[in-house]
Amino acid sequence: MPKDVAIIGVGQSAFVRSYGGSIRELAFEAFREAMKDAGISAVDVGASIICSAPEYDKQRSPAGLIAEYLGLNPQPTFMVESVCSSSTTGIRLGYSLIKSGLHDLVVVLGFQKMSEISSADSQERMGRGADIMWEAPFGTMMPAYYAMHAQAHFARYGSTEKDLALIRVKSSKYGVLNDKAVYRKEVDLEQVLSASAVAVPLKRFDCCANADGASCIIMAGAGKAKEISKKPVWILGLGSATASMTLTGRGSLTGLNCARLAAQQAYEMAGLKPGDIDVAEVHDCFTIAELMAYEDLGFAEPGRGMDLIREGQTYIGGKIPVNVDGGLLSKGHPIGATGGSQVRTVVLQLRGEAGAIQVPGAEIGLVHNIGGVGVYGNVIILGR
């Protein structure tokens, strides 16, 4: 397992429905926490990578604005965007900058202030994450896309609305314990199943909420990490892949091929297998997304992901605890900040600092972060 690049600091703002400050102030909340966690100052930072999806705020080229506000001039800053997977793409870039020798310490900061525009405008922008010639004009919003995935999985494998509801029940159980989550209320199976429909078979509780939030990950090369940190968490494996923008260009709707390929790459780089993972954060923008992730990541055979949730195997104490911070379904999904938040959760787990949601003895963790409707897939494997 390579131990060339480590994460030495993590931070996150609270994820909220509407943040009252500016994007620079929102970014600072996560940055301040991560810098304190790492025990460093701005002069130690070699470069910054700012991660965000465009068109949610009026500021053009926010990387320059945020770097200035965080006191990171004159160090170089970069802007990265792969929609919902932007901050894990930023981590991949940060890893590359460190491995190349260009920088020995890099800050990766993701943010999104989605409340700057209306929910209707937000949905329209998300829809334009698909092909604007052949799909988006026909009303294919995010819930509709994932509803098609759910219907395909139901038809091929016999999974059910109840299986999806069980995922949301798990999410709410752990979301209550996460003081940075938007939704901190437990729901039961009947509430989920009886909720109003959004895009059949997905109902209100099957869908994550828009949110404002920021996350920050501080990365360092091996020498620097050992010098600065008493608790580095190592990046053991990285995988990244893409798929066609249109769903018609894909062979199957029962999973996300970009996630499967990214997972294979990450496992190979780390020299690990799915059974070696102690805790995972997966991109559960919709309940069906978590179910597909079980299978895409190799935690279950294709078509058997529902067995894991039916048997409680993705709870703490189960075979593979998944999204024990509540996931996107409870935390909310501030697009550019989401992947960094997932990484933060796994880092705290591996350091034994996750409090009420700690997975006992966790040594290897995995992050699965998807951009768009399976257009971009990133998988990161982390180890103590």
Both tokens assigned to 371: 């951009």
Q: Among 51, 84, 208, 216, which one carries the catalytic annotation?
A: 84
Both tokens assigned to 375: 């257009």
- 333 given a catalytic annotation: yes
CA 66 to chain centre: 21
Q: Among 149, 153, 283, 333, which one carries the catalytic annotation?
A: 333
CA–CA–CA angle 149, 150, 155 (5° rounding): 100
Residue the block writes with tokens 């790459």: 265
Q: What is the DSSP string of 1-39?
A: ---SEEEEEEEEPPPBS--SS-HHHHHHHHHHHHHHHHT
Query: Are 47 and 64 spatial neighbours (Cβ–Cβ below 8 Å)?
Result: no
DSSP helix/strand/coil, 97: helix
Cα→Cα distances 120→85, 116, 117, 124, 198, Å: 22, 12, 8, 6, 14
DSSP helix/strand/coil, 348: helix
CA distance 286 to 279: 20
Q: Active-site residue numbers?
A: 84, 333
